[in-house]
C-alpha cells in the first residue's frame, strides 16, 4: 500500500474536493487548495488509488477504483460541509465530471481544469494518438511494461517550475511529481473512463467552470469544447493564454484560484449563472 499524500484544510461550510490527474499526485492541486482555503473553503486533496507509488501499484488498479476513491472522498467531505464542489485537473477533471453525472445529489458545482478526454495536444507524439489500440493490448497482455514517457515542457510554461518538477519526476520521487510516463495499460483504463464519461456528460446538471489553456500541450481546446457542448447545467469557459497543461501550478495559477473561488462562491450564494464564455 502506498503512503498517503492527501491534504485537508478545514474552513467554512462550503467544501471543495480536488482531484489530480493520471500518474499525478495531490501536490499538483495543493496551490489551488491553499488558495481556496484562504477564500474560506474547506478543502480536501484526494489521492487516487494506485498513485504516488510504483508503476506496479498503478497497474493493479482500474478506472472504476479511481472513481470509487473520488466518490468515497466526496461522501466523507460532504459530512463536514453544507455544500460540496469538486474540481480536477486533466484526468481528475474527467473523474470530477463522472462524479457529477453519477451522484448529482452530492455535487453543487464542478471545476473542470484542463479536461483530458483525448491526448491530442501539440506536444503529444503521433504514435501516442493511436491509444485506441491500447485496450486490445491490455486484454491480450501486451505491453504491460511499456509506457509513453513524458517530454518537455511537461505541461509547464513556467521554465523555473518546469526544471524543479522534471528533476523531481525523473529522480523517481513519484509522490512529489508523479511518474515519468504513462503506462500503456493505465492509458487503456483512462480511455475507458473517458468513454463512459463522454456518454454521460448530459447528466451533469451542476454548474461547471471550464478552464483550459489555449496552448495546452497535452489536451487540445477541443476537450473543453466537448464539456461546454454536452453538459446540461450552466457553464462558464475561461481560456488561459500564458499556461500549458498544468494550469493549477503554471503561470496563471492565481487566476485559476481567483476564478474558481468566485465561481464556487456565486453558486453557493445562489446567484444567476455566469456567462458561458469569458
Q: Is residue 259 part of a domain?
A: yes
| Counted domains in the chain | 1
Position 57 in a domain: yes
Note down pLDDT in tens along the chain; length 278 residues.
567 899 999 999 999 999 999 999 999 999 999 999 999 999 999 999 999 999 999 999 999 999 999 999 999 999 999 999 999 999 999 999 999 999 999 999 999 999 999 999 999 876 565 566 666 566 657 667 777 777 889 999 999 999 998 888 777 776 667 788 888 789 999 999 999 999 999 999 999 999 999 999 999 999 999 999 999 999 999 999 999 999 999 999 999 999 999 999 999 998 755 554 44
Q: What are 114's three cell numbers? A: 484542463
Q: How far is CA 43 from the centre of its chain?
A: 15
Report yes or no on 84 lying in a domain.
Answer: yes
For residue 205, what are the domain limits? 7-268
Q: Does 275 map to a domain?
A: no
CA–chain centroid gap for 172, Å, is 22
Is residue 276 included in any domain, yes or no?
no
Place of cell 467552470: 209
Query: Does 273 reside within a domain?
Result: no
Cell numbers 491500447 correspond to 134
Among the listed residues 116, 130, 88, 136, the one whose alpha carbon sits nearest the alpha carbon of residue 190:
116
Phi, psi of 79 (to 5 degrees): -70, -15
199 membership: H or E segment, kind and range: helix 184-200
**Is position 2 within any domain?**
no
CATH of residue 230's domain is 3.40.50.1820
**Partner residues linked to 84 by β-bridges:** 15
Residue 191 resides in a domain: yes
Amino acid at each position: 500500500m502506498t503512503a498517503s499524500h492527501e491534504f485537508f484544510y478545514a474552513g467554512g461550510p462550503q467544501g471543495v474536493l480536488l482531484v489530480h490527474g493520471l500518474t499525478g499526485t495531490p501536490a499538483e492541486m495543493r496551490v489551488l487548495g491553499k488558495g481556496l482555503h484562504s477564500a474560506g473553503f474547506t478543502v480536501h486533496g484526494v489521492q487516487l488509488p494506485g498513485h504516488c507509488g510504483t508503476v506496479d501499484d498503478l497497474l493493479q488498479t482500474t478506472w472504476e477504483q479511481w472513481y470509487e476513491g473520488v466518490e468515497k472522498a466526496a461522501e466523507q467531505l460532504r459530512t463536514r460541509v453544507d455544500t460540496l464542489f469538486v474540481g480536477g485537473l486533466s484526468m481528475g477533471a474527467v473523474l470530477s465530471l463522472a462524479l457529477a453525472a453519477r451522484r448529482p445529489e452530492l455535487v453543487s458545482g464542478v471545476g473542470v481544469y484542463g479536461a483530458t478526454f483525448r491526448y491530442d495536444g501539440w506536444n503529444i507524439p503521433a504514435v501516442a494518438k493511436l491509444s485506441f489500440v491500447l485496450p486490445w493490448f491490455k486484454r491480450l497482455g501486451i505491453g504491460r511494461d511499456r509506457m509513453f514517457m513524458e517530454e518537455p515542457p511537461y505541461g509547464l510554461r513556467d521554465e523555473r517550475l518546469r526544471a524543479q518538477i522534471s528533476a523531481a519526476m525523473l529522480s523517481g520521487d513519484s509522490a512529489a511529481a508523479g511518474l515519468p510516463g504513462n503506462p500503456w495499460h493505465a492509458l487503456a483504463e483512462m480511455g475507458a473512463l473517458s468513454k463512459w464519461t463522454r456518454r454521460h456528460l448530459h447528466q451533469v446538471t451542476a454548474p461547471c467552470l471550464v478552464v483550459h489553456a489555449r496552448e495546452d500541450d497535452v489536451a487540445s481546446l477541443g476537450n473543453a469544447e466537448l464539456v461546454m457542448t454536452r453538459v446540461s447545467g450552466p457553464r462558464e469557459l475561461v481560456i488561459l493564454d500564458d499556461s500549458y497543461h498544468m494550469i493549477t501550478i503554471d503561470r496563471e495559477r492565481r487566476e485559476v484560484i481567483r476564478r474558481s473561488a468566485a465561481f464556487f462562491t456565486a453558486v453557493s450564494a445562489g446567484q444567476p449563472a455566469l456567462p458561458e464564455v469569458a
